Structure 1
Amino acid sequence: MIETHSRVSTTVIAPKFVGRSWLIITLAVVLFGALLLGVGIGAVAIPPEVALAIILSKVGINLDVTFTPQQMAVLWHIRLPRVVLGGLAGAALAVSGALLQGIFRNPLADPGLIGISSGAALGAVFTIVSGVAVIGIYTLPIAAFLAGTATTLLVYQLSRRHGRTDVAMLLLVGLALNALAGATTGLLTYLADDAQLRSIVFWTLGGLGGALWETVLAAAPLILFVLALAPRLGFYLNLFALGETEARHLGVNIEWIKRAAVLMAALATGTTVALVGPIGFIGLIVPHMVRLAIGPDHRWLIPACALGGAMLLVLADLLARTLAAPAEIPVGLFTAFAGGPFFLVLILRTRRQYGLS
């Protein structure tokens, strides 16, 4: 249980940035627009008013807008599950990145740092190569989720000493297990036949092309659970910025906070990677961009990251499937190509602002 002294104000970090509420509102509005674009643009054009009419018709609200059966089928069975899953995945990755950056007190931390992504990849590749299909099409995502979660828990246990978790040790153990999982994945890839190799390559590039309502319903409860609870850690992550010793002196149960943050990140990222494959850049760049806009207060940072991550992945997937139409660029590949140079430019610009170059 978390305890704080009564004299500790919830405004330990003074709001130095204005317009935070407006930024949240703006991100929500832009996300809504991105969702409409995502379901509307493609080989079958669906205008925004038609998209709204189709969606509302499913809940018994009929607007005076006509649409064809083809538009309804394309939107409801193909595009809407994909867009919703993209929004959930983007929010999960961005919030996971914000939580881990708060725990590590390092803006370069991301969900792949503690073995979640590499462990999930190992579980998925093992399932493909072994041919195990105990529960049909759900075997691969469940195996990826369990492997990612198990790797994270192993990292956490190995980094504990005398009942405490050393953040530096958590990072080092995570890097070591990442290397081990990557090597094992490489060995399994080497042993795979041609058909298995194509499946491995398709999955490891990351993509939303296989989104179904079944996968959305499988991901939504776990991701929404994390998105609902993560902002409750915001105040305590603010105190972490002062240092673990100072936070402990202020009455914070730092071990509980570390455990909660790591497990939430593992749950959200493991679920996402299991269903859409490893998608980089979102968990690293979104918290950094939001932090530049509204400051380091995690009470605002985490909700803004959820909206920003969802918006960014929905738009990235829209571009990935339309830029080379009728072909489709894997969204994980697209985010890596777009995000790497952008992040480098952002770092150089920030360095110049602080007079370091």
Structure 2
Amino acid sequence: MCHRVPSAPPATSSAGSERSAVHIARRRRAARTWLLGVGLAFAVCALVVVSGATGSVPVSTVQAAKIVVGHLLPGMPWMSDGSLTPLQDQAVWQFRLPRTLLAGIAGAGLALAGALMQVTVRNPLAEPYILGVSSGASVGAVLVIVFGSAALGGLSLNVAAFVGASAACLCVAALARKDGTISPTRMILAGVALGTLFSAITSYLTISTSAQNVVSVLFFLLGSVSAATMSSLLGPAIALVVGAVVALTLARSLNALMTGDESAMSLGVDATRLRGLLLVTASLVTGTVVAVAGGIGFVGLVIPHIARILVGADHRRMLPITMLGGAVFLMGADLLARTVATPTEIPLGILTAFVGAPFFLWLMRRGGAERAGFGR
């Protein structure tokens, strides 16, 4: 009796199944990214309203929402029917909303800068502080606080901080170049060395000034958005938009750079030029944020790492989630800083470190760096 040997399935069928599985996986990741982005955007709006209703002047969440909408869309009837007092309007629009928006912009900017620096040096532990950019900005700001604006040619605190960040960026780029290329290892070493030097300068200026200036210096170095105004939002907002446009435009090149310089160059990516552009972009965003919000750590370290775990290492998906996540994180941190020890306000840098350090250690314990796409 003859037994019929079953024929092997066609190779085209197997290849088609693999393509179908890959297509389904991509659609699932895209759907997850979209849902997560919508959720984070909703959280940003909710935090704006809740923050507007939090403070010594009694304002409900409904009233806070009405005030914000009333200013954005003039002519709303509740703005003139007597249901909202001038004090409530002033508290929400002039004081609470600017600081909440600045926290969101600063969080998004620092998270974006951290993501770009992690790609630049191909290290998940990188952030703006590791390259000395934030320390350089702090030196510029502290010089104004200690010696006054007149002694520095009329530079304001914000401008001096930005100049310090730009100077640190140029120094790191110059020290990291060797044989016409920018080495990631040299960038890290140069950044750590310059950051230590700038921190030493800041410490010396702090201990050699008056007690009144010491308080101002420490509050700036630890980070705060309490002095935010609508006009102070312009600089960091413009820097964030520029940084986001550059980063999203180069998302495919960033993906290539993650695989290594040789692979990136084989795909037509100039790794040295791209690193220089990323360093300048991250420094621009960091400098403008530090200039108005002071030194705030861990946002640029933790948030990009979490975003990669949630939506993958593809920068086309990861970068928008990173910026939204940074905004939510710092807006929530600012809300806690205002309420957890009322009437005292906790500097943001203390709170972000207190929350971020244990969480990041937990991620490292669970092998988060490998799952985030950086390998071993």
| TM-score of the two chains, using structure 1 as the length reference | 0.90
Contact 1:128 / 1:199 at 8 angstroms: preserved in 2?
yes
Contact 1:96 / 1:283 at 8 angstroms: preserved in 2?
yes
1:291 is aligned with what amino acid? Answer: R
d(CA) in 1 for partners of 2:235 and 2:319? 23
1:36 aligns with 2:44: no
The SS at the match of 1:278 is: coil
Q: 1:265 to 1:219 in 2, by over 3 A?
A: same
Single out whichever of 134-143 and 40-49 deviates more from structure 2.
Answer: 134-143
The residue aligned with 1:300 is 317
1:344 is aligned with what amino acid? Answer: L
The residue aligned with 2:330 is 313
Q: CA deviation at 1:265?
A: 0.5
Contact 1:98 / 1:301 at 8 angstroms: preserved in 2?
no
Q: CA deviation at 1:53?
A: 1.9
The residue aligned with 1:26 is 39
Contact 2:223 / 2:296 at 8 angstroms: preserved in 1?
yes
The SS at the match of 1:264 is: helix
1:30 is aligned with what amino acid? Answer: A
The residue aligned with 1:60 is 74
d(CA) in 1 for partners of 2:153 and 2:343? 29
The residue aligned with 1:206 is 223
1:342 aligns with 2:359: yes
d(CA) in 2 for partners of 1:169 and 1:46? 53
Contact 2:133 / 2:169 at 8 angstroms: preserved in 1?
yes
1:207 is aligned with what amino acid? Answer: S
d(CA) in 2 for partners of 1:134 and 1:293? 49
Match of 1:117 among 134, 142, 145: 134
1:276 aligns with 2:286: no
Q: CA deviation at 1:131?
A: 2.2
1:264 aligns with 2:281: yes
d(CA) in 1 for partners of 2:200 and 2:150? 24
| Aligned CA-pair RMSD | 2.2
Contact 1:40 / 1:48 at 8 angstroms: preserved in 2?
yes
Q: 1:34 to 1:239 in 2, by over 3 A?
A: same
Single out whichever of 261-270 and 41-50 deviates more from structure 2.
Answer: 41-50
Q: CA deviation at 1:328?
A: 0.8
d(CA) in 1 for partners of 2:264 and 2:358? 36
Single out whichever of 229-238 and 53-62 deviates more from structure 2.
Answer: 53-62
Q: Which has the higher contact order (CA 8 A, sep 6+)?
A: 1
1:196 aligns with 2:213: yes
Contact 1:94 / 1:282 at 8 angstroms: preserved in 2?
yes
d(CA) in 2 for partners of 1:351 and 1:104? 18
| TM-score of the two chains, using structure 2 as the length reference | 0.86
d(CA) in 1 for partners of 2:310 and 2:331? 21
Single out whichever of 49-58 and 254-263 deviates more from structure 2.
Answer: 49-58
Number of residue-to-residue matches in the alignment:
342
2:106 is aligned with what amino acid? Answer: A
The residue aligned with 2:198 is 181
1:277 is aligned with what amino acid? Answer: G
d(CA) in 1 for partners of 2:152 and 2:74? 35
Single out whichever of 55-64 and 324-333 deviates more from structure 2.
Answer: 55-64
Single out whichever of 290-299 and 137-146 deviates more from structure 2.
Answer: 137-146
The residue aligned with 1:3 is none
2:33 is aligned with what amino acid? Answer: R
The residue aligned with 1:7 is none
2:367 is aligned with what amino acid? Answer: T
Q: 1:351 to 1:132 in 2, by over 3 A?
A: closer
Single out whichever of 88-97 and 219-228 deviates more from structure 2.
Answer: 219-228
d(CA) in 2 for partners of 1:196 and 1:296? 44
1:299 is aligned with what amino acid? Answer: R
The residue aligned with 2:9 is none
d(CA) in 2 for partners of 1:185 and 1:105? 29
Q: 1:112 to 1:351 in 2, by over 3 A?
A: closer
Q: 1:134 to 1:67 in 2, by over 3 A?
A: farther
Q: 1:102 to 1:68 in 2, by over 3 A?
A: same
The residue aligned with 1:223 is 240
Contact 1:53 / 1:63 at 8 angstroms: preserved in 2?
no
**Structure 1: stretches of 5+ with no match in the other structure:** 1-10
The residue aligned with 1:47 is 60
Cα deviation, 1:230-281, whole Å, max 9, x if unaligned, reads: 2112111111121101100111122221122111110111111111110001
Largest Rg, 1 or 2: 2
Q: 1:53 to 1:295 in 2, by over 3 A?
A: same
Q: CA deviation at 1:26?
A: 1.3
The SS at the match of 2:363 is: helix
Contact 1:87 / 1:314 at 8 angstroms: preserved in 2?
yes
Contact 1:320 / 1:334 at 8 angstroms: preserved in 2?
yes
**Structure 2: stretches of 5+ with no match in the other structure:** 1-21, 372-376
d(CA) in 2 for partners of 1:81 and 1:352? 35
d(CA) in 2 for partners of 1:286 and 1:92? 11
Contact 2:149 / 2:155 at 8 angstroms: preserved in 1?
no
